[in-house]
C-alpha cells in the first residue's frame, strides 16, 4: 500500500468505525469464544508474497470484531473504563499519520510543548497547586514504577544507579492493602522486593490507619531497615478506597519520606470541586498519578504524573548521550528523561483536542451523571431479594454479592456475562467474592446503567 491507497482505505476504515460504534448496543459486551479459536483460524506462517488489501480487510471484518470485548460499549461496567471520546480518536489518527518519535525536544518540538501546556491545563483542572509539573506515561504502572525508582535512588543518594543494590540497606515502602497490584509490581521490578512492601491495615472506612503507618516506620528504623516512601490510595480498584491523605502525608513528612498518590481512576473526578474532599490533602504529596484514559475520555494510553520536584526523577531516569543532545540551544525539556522508555508517542495531542472540544463543564457533567446513576442503581439493587450490598458507592463504584455465598455469586456473574447485555467483574472484599459495578463509559446513558437491574431481575 502506498499513500494513495492509504487515503482510500482510511476513508473505508472511518466508515467502518462509525458503523461499529453505532451498532455497539446490538453486540454482546464480552467476546463469546473459546481460547485459541481465533488463533487456530490464522495461517501458521506469514505469506511470502503480499496479499490484496481487499482480502486482508475481509478477514479483519469477519474475524476480529466478534472476537473482541468491546471496551467502548455503553454497557461496559467491568474493570475501569478505557474511554475514547471521538475527538480523541481523531487526534490519534493525526498522531498516527505524523508517526513521530518524540524522544527529545528537537525530534518533535510540538509534542513536547503541547505536553507542557496540557500539564498546566490538567493541574489547574484538578485544583492542584502551581508547584506541580508533570508528564505523560503510557500507563499508571509505568508512572508508579518511575516514582518508586525515584524513591529508591533518593534514599540511596543515587548509589543504586551505579553500584547496584547489592550491599545496600534493606528498603521499605508503605501502602495499604487497598492499593493496586501495580504497586506490588513496581517494588518487584525496582529490586526492592515484595516482602518489603509493608501493607498497613485499614480502618472501617478502608483508609490506611495513620497511627499504624507511623508505628511501622518507627519499628522498621529500629530494626535497621531503610524506609524510602509511602504510596497512598485515591480510589482503590476493588471498591474505591481512599486513604486519609492529609494525616498520612503529615506522618511521611515528619519521617522525611516522599509520598506518591495512586489516583489512576478517581483522579479524573477531581475536575469536579465537590469530589475533592475525597483526596483532601493531596496537594501535599510529592507525586500524583491519574489516567485521563480511564474516565476523562482520552484514548488509551494516557497516564499523567504530577511531580512537586521533577529534578529527582530526571536524575533517576535521565540519560543524555551525545546523540540525544540538542546542539546550539539553551537547556530544553526532554520528556524521555522523566520516564522509563526513550521512545515517546505524541500523547498530548488527544488531551488538547479533548479539553477544547468538550470543555471542562461537559466533562464534569458526564462524571456527575455517572456518580448519580451509580447511586440510583445501588438503591435499586439493594431492594432485590437475595442480594447483599458489600460496599457503598465511592464515586461511581460499588459492589454486591449473593447472600447464598461465593459459589452462588460466581455462578451469577458467569450468567450475567454470558448473557452479553452488560459486563461486570469480580473482586475479593473482606474475605468474600463480590461483584464490582462501576459506571464510567464515556457515552453511556441512564438507561444503559439501569439495564443492570433488568438483567439481575431476569437472572436471579
List, in sequence order, every residue forming a beta bridge with 307; answer none if it has no partner: 133, 287
pLDDT score of 176 more than 70: yes
Other C-beta atoms lying within 10 Å of the C-beta of residue 5 = 10
Residue 58 domain-assigned (yes or no): no
DSSP of 155-166: HTTT-HHHH-ST
Residue 142 domain-assigned (yes or no): yes
> pLDDT for 13-38, tens place per residue?
999 999 999 999 999 999 888 899 99
Q: Cα(72)–Cα(24) distance, rounded to whole angstroms?
A: 8
pTM, to two decimals: 0.92
Please list, in sequence order, all residues whose beta carbon lies within 8 angstroms of the beta carbon of residue 184, skipping any fewer than 6 positions away: 194, 197
Confidence category of residue 327, pLDDT binned at 50, 70, 90: very low
User: Which pLDDT score, from 0 to 100, does residue 323 have?
Assistant: 54
Residue 111 domain-assigned (yes or no): yes
| Nine-digit cell string for 441 | 463509559
Residue 219 domain-assigned (yes or no): yes
User: Which pLDDT score, from 0 to 100, does residue 85 have?
Assistant: 95
Residue 236: enclosing H or E segment and its boundaries?
none
User: Which pLDDT score, from 0 to 100, does residue 106 have?
Assistant: 87
> pLDDT for 358-415, tens place per residue?
999 999 999 999 999 999 999 999 999 999 999 999 999 999 999 999 999 999 999 9
The SS3 assignment for 195 reads helix
Residue 85 domain-assigned (yes or no): no
Angle at 225 between CA 222 and CA 231, to 5 degrees: 110
> pLDDT for 415-432, tens place per residue?
999 999 999 999 999 999
Number of structural domains, the chain? 1
pLDDT score of 346 more than 50: yes
Cis-peptide, bond into residue 235, ω within 30° of zero: no
Q: Cα(176)–Cα(367) distance, rounded to whole angstroms?
A: 26
Residue 261 domain-assigned (yes or no): yes
Other C-beta atoms lying within 10 Å of the C-beta of residue 71 = 16
Residue 241 and residue 176 in contact, taking contact as beta carbons nearer than 8 Å = yes
Q: Cα(200)–Cα(452) distance, rounded to whole angstroms?
A: 35
**Domain at 211, CATH number:** 3.40.640.10
User: Which pLDDT score, from 0 to 100, does residue 330 have?
Assistant: 58
pLDDT score of 318 more than 90: no
Q: Which is it for strands 387-394 and 397-402: parallel, antiparallel or unpaired?
A: antiparallel
| Cα dihedral 96→97→99→104 (10° resolution) | -90
* Averaged confidence pLDDT in the chain: 93
Which of 98, 68, 12, 125 lies closest to 354 in space, CA to CA? Answer: 125
Which of 362, 439, 447, 363 lies closest to 395 in space, CA to CA? Answer: 439
pLDDT score of 325 more than 80: no
User: Which pLDDT score, from 0 to 100, does residue 321 have?
Assistant: 65
The SS3 assignment for 275 reads helix
Q: Which domain holds residue 335?
A: 101-345
Residue 217 domain-assigned (yes or no): yes
3-state per-residue secondary structure call for 57-115: HHHHHHHCHHHCCCCCCCCECCCCCCCCCHHHHHHHHHHHHHCCCCCCHHHCHHHHHHH
Residue 231 domain-assigned (yes or no): yes
Amino acid at each position: 500500500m502506498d499513500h494513495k491507497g492509504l487515503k482510500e482505505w482510511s476513508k473505508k476504515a472511518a466508515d467502518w468505525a462509525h458503523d461499529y460504534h453505532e451498532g455497539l448496543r446490538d453486540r454482546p459486551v464480552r467476546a463469546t469464544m473459546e481460547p485459541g479459536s481465533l488463533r487456530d483460524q490464522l495461517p501458521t506462517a506469514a505469506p511470502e508474497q503480499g496479499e490484496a488489501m481487499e482480502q486482508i480487510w475481509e478477514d479483519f471484518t469477519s474475524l476480529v470484531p466478534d472476537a473482541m470485548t468491546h471496551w467502548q460499549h455503553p454497557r461496559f461496567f467491568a474493570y475501569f473504563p478505557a474511554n475514547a471520546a471521538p475527538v480523541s480518536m481523531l487526534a490519534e489518527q493525526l498522531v498516527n499519520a505524523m508517526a513521530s518519535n518524540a524522544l527529545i525536544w528537537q525530534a518533535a518540538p510540538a509534542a513536547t510543548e503541547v505536553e507542557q501546556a496540557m500539564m498546566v491545563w490538567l493541574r489547574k483542572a484538578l485544583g492542584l497547586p502551581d508547584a506541580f509539573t508533570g508528564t505523560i506515561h503510557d500507563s499508571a504502572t509505568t508512572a508508579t514504577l518511575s516514582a518508586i525508582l525515584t524513591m529508591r535512588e533518593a534514599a540511596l543518594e543515587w548509589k543504586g544507579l551505579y553500584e547496584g543494590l547489592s550491599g545496600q540497606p534493606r528498603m521499605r515502602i508503605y501502602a495499604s492493602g487497598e492499593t493496586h497490584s501495580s504497586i506490588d509490581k513496581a517494588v518487584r521490578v525496582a529490586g526492592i522486593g515484595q516482602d518489603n512492601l509493608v501493607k498497613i491495615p485499614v480502618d472501617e472506612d478502608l483508609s490506611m490507619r495513620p497511627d499504624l503507618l507511623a508505628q511501622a516506620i518507627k519499628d522498621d528504623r529500629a530494626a535497621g531497615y531503610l524506609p524510602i516512601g509511602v504510596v497512598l490510595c485515591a480510589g482503590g480498584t476493588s471498591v474505591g478506597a481512599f486513604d486519609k491523605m492529609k494525616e498520612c502525608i503529615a506522618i511521611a513528612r515528619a519521617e522525611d519520606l516522599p509520598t506518591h498518590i495512586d489516583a489512576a481512576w478517581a483522579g479524573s473526578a477531581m475536575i469536579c470541586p465537590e469530589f475533592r474532599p475525597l483526596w483532601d490533602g493531596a496537594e501535599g504529596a510529592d507525586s500524583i498519578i491519574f489516567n485521563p484514559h480511564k474516565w476523562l475520555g482520552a484514548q488509551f494510553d494516557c497516564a499523567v504524573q504530577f511531580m512537586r520536584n521533577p529534578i529527582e526523577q530526571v536524575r533517576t531516569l535521565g540519560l543524555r548521550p551525545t546523540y540525544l543532545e540538542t546542539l546550539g540551544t539553551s537547556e530544553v525539556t526532554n520528556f524521555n528523561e522523566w520516564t522509563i522508555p526513550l521512545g515517546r508517542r505524541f500523547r498530548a495531542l488527544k488531551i488538547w483536542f479533548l479539553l477544547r472540544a468538550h470543555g471542562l463543564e461537559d466533562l464534569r457533567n458526564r462524571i456527575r451523571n455517572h456518580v448519580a446513576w451509580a447511586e440510583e442503581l445501588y438503591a435499586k439493587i439493594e431492594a432485590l431479594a437475595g442480594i447483599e450490598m458489600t460496599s457503598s458507592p465511592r464515586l461511581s463504584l460499588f459492589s454486591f454479592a449473593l447472600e447464598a455465598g461465593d459459589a452462588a455469586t460466581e455462578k451469577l456473574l458467569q450468567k450475567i456475562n454470558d448473557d452479553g447485555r452488560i459486563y461486570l467483574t469480580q473482586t475479593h472484599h473482606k474475605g468474600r467474592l463480590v461483584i464490582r459495578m462501576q459506571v464510567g463509559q464515556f457515552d453511556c446513558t441512564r438507561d444503559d446503567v439501569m439495564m443492570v437491574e433488568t438483567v439481575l431481575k431476569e437472572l436471579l
